[in-house]
């Protein structure tokens, strides 16, 4: 495990699991995005899982950044799954009209792995 900014990034199977530690301010979010995309490029992984279980606030910038990560990762050949979104975070995001772009929201790590495996097999 390796710490970049304030997020831990783990490798699992053919995928990366990124867990931001706490609510990120805008700069940290950009850092997070850049690091993650760099890693996707370097390691040639086929999927990315972003776990938001430690995040208790997703502001519009953070939401957009996750969307951007998903869309850019897709261009680099990696699908993005988002897991662990808390109920109160989900409802705030809906009220504020924040979307996750091309990222696929999933319930838990099991389902995310299953989803990404299927995607890779399909490709």
Name the site residues for other proteins (rule: CB under 8 A).
82-83, 85-88, 90-91, 93-95, 100, 104-108, 111
Q: Is 97 exposed, middle or buried (0-12, 13-18, 19+ CB in 10 A)?
A: exposed
Q: Supply the minimum distance, in Å, between the C-beta of residue 4 and other proteins.
A: 25
User: If we measure between CA atoms, which residue out of 93, 11, 2, 1 comes closest to residue 52?
Assistant: 93
Taking the least distance from each CB to other proteins, the nearer of 7 and 58 is 58
Q: Supply the minimum distance, in Å, between the C-beta of residue 12 and other proteins.
A: 18
Q: Supply the minimum distance, in Å, between the C-beta of residue 70 and other proteins.
A: 13
Taking the least distance from each CB to other proteins, the nearer of 42 and 87 is 87
Euclidean distance between CA atoms 37 and 59, whole angstroms: 21
Taking the least distance from each CB to other proteins, the nearer of 4 and 54 is 54
According to the 3-state scheme, what is the secondary structure of 7-27?
EEEEEECCEEEEEECCCCCHH
């Amino acid at each position: 495990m390796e710490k970049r900014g304030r997020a831990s990034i783990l490798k699992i199977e053919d995928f990366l699991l990124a867990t931001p530690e706490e609510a990120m301010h805008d700069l940290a979010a950009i850092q997070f995005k850049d690091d993650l995309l760099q890693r996707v490029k370097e390691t040639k992984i086929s999927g990315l899982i972003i776990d938001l279980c430690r995040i208790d606030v997703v502001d519009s910038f953070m939401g957009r950044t996750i969307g951007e990560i998903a869309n850019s990762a897709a261009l680099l050949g990696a699908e993005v799954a988002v897991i662990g979104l808390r109920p109160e975070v989900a409802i705030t995001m809906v009220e504020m009209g924040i979307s996750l772009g091309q990222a696929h929201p999933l319930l838990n790590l099991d389902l995310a792995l299953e989803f990404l495996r299927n995607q890779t097999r399909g490709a």
